[in-house]
Amino acid sequence: MNIDLIFSIINIVLIATTPLVFASIGELVTEKSGVLNLGVEGMMLVGAVTAFVTLVITNNYFLTFLFGMLSGLLMSSLFAFLVLILLSNQVATGLALTIFGIGLSSMIGKKYIGTPIEGVNPYYFIILSFFVVYAVNQFLYKTKPGLILRAVGESHISAHAQGYNVIKIRFLSIAFGGLMCGLAGAYMSIAYAPMWQENMVAGRGWIALALVVFATWKPGRALLGAYIFGSVSILQMNLQGFGVRIPAQFFVMAPYLATIIVLVIISSDRLRIKLSAPACLTIPFFRGR
């Protein structure tokens, strides 16, 4: 194994892991405030298609990523309105967001399947992803607003009694999650692929959700988890390259099976999950009790 091959593997791992980092760090912030948004997959798809269509129409990379992120934000605002104002069930609403996102993205993107575009260098975003993780970590654990956000996630009643606006804080956390998922999707269709295809996110949104559990809700560990994950799924591709004769489908299966195995290992420590999960996760907050 020569040095070039090692570099090329590291290169592929970096490129393939970045969307998982963006999506999981966004979802982590949302969950820290006590809201579980299962719509990650849907938001990523809408982000991906919006960015792609914007690039085809305007040919402007700044607008492409801006609109990609804003579409994620818009999707998450819809979710936020339902769960925060109309007090709907978070699990069901998140599922609805994903189903809606799958439909909306394939409807918008139908005309653009196979349209060639010029991709953008993924390295800017790889660097950005590390920065975002660092910034989120600093924000959550070293600043007062971060402390308030975590307080809302641990006990919304106490935070409310202290005079903090639970709904507003949760809305902002959900919106940040939406922005990051939109960015992850835009990265997928503009930098990673670069192309549009129906359902191109292929379960990465759900894997990002699993990574948050794996990380026991800590940003640094989410980054680490994403990279372990990215390496495993790239490794299987390389094994295939070295002539291990297993049908291709079983290689493609590896990330999904790895997710299950990782979840089992982390979750079997019930006490640890109980202590690390935000105590108010999925519990709605109604002020006028």
Partner 1 sequence: MINIYPKIISRGHPSLLMTYLAPIIAIVLTLITGSIIFSFMGFTPFFALHTFFISPISTYYGVSELFLKATPLALIAIGLSFCFKNNIYNIGAEGQLTMGAIFGGGVGIFFYNVEGFWLLPLIIICGAIGGIIWAMIPAILKVRFNTNEILTSLMLVYVAALILDYLVVGPWRDPDGLSFPKTRPFNDSARMPLLFEGLRVHFGLILTIISVFIAWFIYSKTMLGYQLKVAGLSPKASRFAGFNQNKLVYITFGICGALSGIAGVGEVTGPIGLIYRDISPNYGFTAIIVAFLGRLHPVGIIFASIVIALTYLGAEDAQLFMQVPQAVGFVFQGLVLFYLLGADLLINYRISFYKRSLINEH
Look at residues 43, 84, 29, 35 and name the one whose alpha carbon lies nearest to residue 206.
43
Least separation in angstroms between CB 127 and partner 1: 29
Name the 3-class secondary structure at 168. Answer: helix
Using CB under 8 A, which of the segments 6-14, 61-69, 114-122, 264-272 binds partner 1? Answer: 264-272
Least separation in angstroms between CB 73 and partner 1: 17
Q: State the burial class of residue 108 (Cβ atoms within 10 Å of its Cβ: 0-12, 13-18, 19+).
A: middle
Q: State the burial class of residue 62 (Cβ atoms within 10 Å of its Cβ: 0-12, 13-18, 19+).
A: exposed
Look at residues 182, 185, 212, 188 and name the one whose alpha carbon lies nearest to residue 79.
182
Q: Verify binding: residue 289, partner 1, rule CB under 8 A.
A: yes
Q: Verify binding: residue 167, partner 1, rule CB under 8 A.
A: no
Residue type present at position 139:
F
Q: State the burial class of residue 30 (Cβ atoms within 10 Å of its Cβ: 0-12, 13-18, 19+).
A: buried
Least separation in angstroms between CB 263 and partner 1: 5
Q: Verify binding: residue 145, partner 1, rule CB under 8 A.
A: no
Q: Verify binding: residue 188, partner 1, rule CB under 8 A.
A: no
**Residue among 103 and 220 whose Cβ is closer to partner 1:** 103
**Residue among 11 and 165 whose Cβ is closer to partner 1:** 165
Q: Verify binding: residue 224, partner 1, rule CB under 8 A.
A: no
Tokens 């959700």 belong to residue: 209
Among 10, 147, 260, 275, binds partner 1 (CB under 8 A): 260
The mark string for 91-120 relative to partner 1 (x by CB under 8 A, - otherwise) is xxx-xxx-xxxxxxxxx--x----------
Residue type present at position 158:
S
Which two three-digit tokens encode residue 274?
């109980």
The mark string for 30-49 relative to partner 1 (x by CB under 8 A, - otherwise) is --------x-----------
Task: Enumerate residues 60-79 that contact partner 1 by CB under 8 A.
Answer: 78
Phi, psi of 145 (to 5 degrees): -55, -35
Look at residues 140, 143, 163 and name the one whose alpha carbon lies nearest to residue 153.
140
Among 59, 141, 267, 279, binds partner 1 (CB under 8 A): 267
Binding site for partner 1 (CB under 8 A): 38, 78, 82, 86-89, 91-93, 95-97, 99-107, 110, 198, 202-203, 206, 209-210, 213, 247, 249-250, 252-253, 256-257, 259-260, 263-264, 267-268, 270, 273, 286, 288-289
